[in-house]
Structure 1
Amino acid sequence: MTARPEGLPGWWEPLLTRVGSARTEDFTTITPPAGGGRPSAVLVLLGEDRPGEPDLLILQRAATMRNHAGQPAFPGGAADPGDRDPAATALREANEEVGLDPATATVLTTLPELYIPVSRFVVTPVLAWWHAPHPVHPRQPAEVAHVARLPVTELVDPENRMRVRHPSGWVSPAFQVRGMLVWGFTAGVISVLLDMAGWSRPWRPGPIMELPDPAPLPHGSVPVADASAAAASDEVVS
């Protein structure tokens, strides 16, 4: 992790300290193979509209996409040869997908690599502070339908938390926030980070919500916390 920038909001603690010692197994039971895989990265971007009220940037894939139709996800995707590191990949993808100005985001650290066996993606979540938020919107409507900033207060609301089951049988944590059902890989990472930050509130899992048969499997087969996921494409999503 780089030196902490001036003006970093206090709510970043204890999250930053705890992710500094995080291990892959804190997020998934699957470790990257010795031979590696296809490098990719996603941007986990936290900012605030009002002081002391953090939110998380999430996009929603277009309903017409062949893979991951309608699924919420972190901005991100496969690394390009010119990307110097995972942070460069995540920021480039966020710019291409939602028009994020990379100069407005301060990269704080990267999380452990998460391997997705089906697609052979090795995903590096990049944790960043959106120190100068600005309007964002889908730049590629054929791929991105919607962009939202989800308040942490709504993500941790027990009324908005649930578990979902894909027709294949795997169970994932999920969040129902602002008309978006966040599930699979993305929801698993969010769930772990909320716990590490000390933001989570007690909630009753309740009945498992069944996803409809047309729901595409998430990207790969990755247990994240109590979840597992499976599918493949060039995008790193749920």
Structure 2
Amino acid sequence: MLPDDISVSARAQLVALAERSETEPPRPEIPRRFQISAGDEARPAAVLMLFGVLDELPSDHAAQAQAVSRDLDVLLLARASTLRSHAGQIAFPGGRIDPDDDGPVAAALREAREETGLDPDGVEILGSLEVVPLAYSLHLVTPVLAWWRHPSPIRVVDVAESAAVFRMPVADLLDPANRGVTVMRRDGQTWRGPAFLVPHVGGERLVWGFTAMLLDGLFDRLGWTEPWDKTREVPLDLDD
């Protein structure tokens, strides 16, 4: 477990960020490929960005940010390779806001329970960030910041939806050795985006696309980002 002062610091910084997001103007640096054109009918969605002191295998990297211990982690999942959209990619738990959901928070918790089996009663909601457009699937996504107050077991609930559910140490994501950019070239256009290539038992996990953009922006705003080589390209196999 984290020392009390460090865990309180990480949680407090996440709370402060959520509070600032209520008054700050929309962030202008969202890449064009994520922006939704005027006239497109976008659907509301939400993702759960759940942090906590849960990992049994802490990071080997000593993060520079005082709030980030080797034991601080974030809940992620790997989408099933058979899905039509974002197949095989690492993502936050989340999905579309249903008519029966009482807003983005309820939707994020419901989706997380359905996808990872977590107990929502052990999750403390810290607040929400600004809505982020996702043009590929025409969604307007609300990131919901949360803290895992009482950990509960997690697992793949539906193999048709998820291939893996896991907790990733935040310090591993911040490690400059694990950072890079993915480059996607299509129809004469080139898109570059942040990526995290994190070693784990049995191989590596590549976090890229929308999820990497959310993490990269979050770490920057919290002041947790460490200097990293933004010219380093991480191979991206879109056929996986």
Q: Which TM-score applies when normalising by structure 1?
A: 0.79
- 2:17 partner letter: R
Q: What does residue 24 of structure 1 align with?
A: 26
Does residue 95 (structure 1) correspond to residue 132 (structure 2)? The answer is no
Residue deviations 1:175-212, cap 9 Å, x none?
01232100011001101111222221111123323422
- 1:17 partner letter: A
Q: Which TM-score applies when normalising by structure 2?
A: 0.79
Q: What does residue 193 of structure 1 align with?
A: 218
CA distance in 1, matches of 2:192, 2:226: 20
- 1:11 partner letter: A
Q: What does residue 62 of structure 2 align with?
A: none
Deviates more, 1:70-79 or 1:28-37: 28-37
Does residue 43 (structure 1) correspond to residue 45 (structure 2)? The answer is no
Deviates more, 1:154-163 or 1:43-52: 43-52
Output aligned runs, 1:141-220, within 5 Å.
Answer: 141-168=159-186, 169-177=190-198, 178=200, 179-214=204-239
Q: Contact 2:155 / 2:164 at 8 angstroms: preserved in 1?
A: yes
CA distance in 1, matches of 2:81, 2:137: 21
> Structure 1: any 5+ residue segments left out of the alignment?
1-7, 216-238
Give the CA deviation at 1:76.
Answer: 0.4
Question: Alignment identity in percent?
Answer: 40
CA distance in 1, matches of 2:40, 2:206: 35
- 1:10 partner letter: S
> Structure 2: any 5+ residue segments left out of the alignment?
1-6, 56-67
> Would the alpha carbon gap of residues 27 and 87 (structure 1) be closer, same or farther in structure 2, given more than 3 Å must change?
farther
> Would the alpha carbon gap of residues 146 and 213 (structure 1) be closer, same or farther in structure 2, given more than 3 Å must change?
closer
Aligned residues: 209
Give the CA deviation at 1:173.
Answer: 0.3
Q: Contact 2:36 / 2:134 at 8 angstroms: preserved in 1?
A: no
Deviates more, 1:117-126 or 1:174-183: 117-126
Structure with higher RCO (Cα < 8 A, 6+ apart): 1
- 1:20 partner letter: E
Q: Contact 1:39 / 1:123 at 8 angstroms: preserved in 2?
A: yes
Q: What does residue 231 of structure 1 align with?
A: none
CA distance in 1, matches of 2:37, 2:211: 18
CA distance in 2, matches of 1:99, 1:195: 30
> Would the alpha carbon gap of residues 55 and 213 (structure 1) be closer, same or farther in structure 2, given more than 3 Å must change?
closer
Picking from 51, 55, 59, the partner of 2:77 is 59
Q: Contact 1:167 / 1:211 at 8 angstroms: preserved in 2?
A: no
Secondary structure of 2:154's counterpart equals coil
